Amino acid sequence: MRTYFVTYQLKTINKYISHRKGEVKIGEKFKFVEGKSPLEEEIKASKSKYVIFGIPEDYGVQANHGRPGAVSAWEATLRSLLNVQQNSYNKGGKILLLGHFDFSNEAANINFSEPELPKKLQSVINRIDKEVTYLVNVIVSNGKIPIVIGGGHNNAYGIIKGCALAHAKPVNVINIDAHTDFRTTDLRHSGNGFSYAFDEGFLNKYFIFGLHENYTSKEIFNKLDDEDERIQYNTLESIAIRRERDLAGEADRALSFVQDEHFGLEIDCDAIINIPSSAMTPSGLAVNDTRYLTHKFSRNENIQYLHICEAAPDSDKKSDMILVGKLISYLITDFIKK
C-alpha cells in the first residue's frame, strides 16, 4: 500500500494553515503517523477515534462519462479543514490525518480522449478498489472510524468491502445522493459501486436519501422495488417539492432501516444544491439539511464511516475551492462533534 499512499506529518500540511496570534487551528492539533513503523501498526497504536484520508481521483467518474474535477476536492478540503478553530466544539486531537492516495502513475499512459476510455480505466479503478478496501479494513479492524474524502463514488465499493471484511459480515449504508449508483455490473465506474457491493455480498441494507425522480430510470426503480426488503429510498421531490414526506421523519425512517447493524454514511455532493460536482444541480438538498442529516446519523453507535464524494471544484477557480472546502469541512466537523 505504501506504493500508492502518501502519509502526512505536521510539516507536510503546515503550509495550508493560516497562523494567527491568539488562535489555534484544529490542524495544529491533528495527530499524524511518524513513518517509522508499518502504517498498519501506527494506525493501531493511534489513540484518535477518527482517521481521515483522501482519494484525489476522478477515474471512476470519467469511466461513467461524468464531469471531471473530483480530483481537486481533497486539496480544497485540506485548505479549509485545517483552519477550523480549535475550541470546545472542535477538538483536533480526535483526528488522525493519515494522508492521501496517489494513483496518477497507474493512469500515466492512458489517452483520456479516446472512445474506449471506460475500458482503458478498468485496471486503474480495480487497483483503487483493492487499495481502498485494504486501508479501510485496517482502520475499522482497529476500532476506528474512517472519514474518506474523494474522488468519485466508485470508491464506495472499496469502503463498504473493507468494512464488511473487518466485521466478517455485510454492512448497511445510508447514501445521501441524487442517484442510486446501482447500475449494471459490467464495467466498474462511479455509477455502480453499490450494485457491485450488493451483488458480492458486502452490502446488506441500502437506503438512498434524496433520489432525483428525473434522473432515475424506470429499470432502476423496478430493481429497487424488487429488493424492497433490503433497499429503500425517498425522493427529493417527495420531501422538498410535493411535501409528502418530512425531512426529520425520513431521517428517522432511514436510521430505523439500517441501525440494527453496522452502517456507513455516504454523501454525494451531487445531491446538494449548487455545489460544484460531477453532476451539479440547481435543485437539491440544502446545505443545512445535509448538515442536519450528517449530525443525526453520526450520533448512532453503529456508525462505521463517513464518505464524501463527487465534489468537483475547478482548481483554477478560488471561489470553487473555497466553497467545496468549507462545505466538506462543515460536514466533517458535524460528523465528529458529540
- C-alpha to C-alpha distance for 284 and 271, rounded to whole angstroms: 5
Q: Cell numbers of 292, please?
A: 442536519
Tens digits of per-residue pLDDT, 176-200?
999 999 999 999 999 999 999 999 9
Q: Predicted confidence band at 338 (pLDDT cuts at 50, 70, 90)?
A: confident
CATH number assigned to the domain comprising residue 210: 3.40.800.10
Q: 168 pLDDT exceeds 90? A: yes
- How many domains does the chain divide into? 1
Q: What is the DSSP letter of 26?
A: G
127 neighbors 103 (Cβ within 8 angstroms): yes
pTM attached to this predicted model: 0.97
> What residue type is 314 in one-letter code?
D
Q: Which of 123, 104, 203, 122 is nearest to 159 (CA)?
A: 203
pLDDT at 301: 97
- Grouping H, G, I as helix, E, B as strand and the rest as coil, residue 123 is helix
C-alpha pair distances (Å), 231 with each of 184, 205, 260, 303: 16, 6, 15, 18
153 neighbors 181 (Cβ within 8 angstroms): yes
Q: Which domain holds residue 166?
A: 5-336
Looking at residues 76-97, what average pLDDT do you find? Answer: 97
pLDDT at 1: 56
Q: What is the DSSP letter of 86?
A: P
Q: What is the DSSP letter of 174?
A: E
C-alpha pair distances (Å), 245 with each of 191, 238, 254: 27, 6, 12
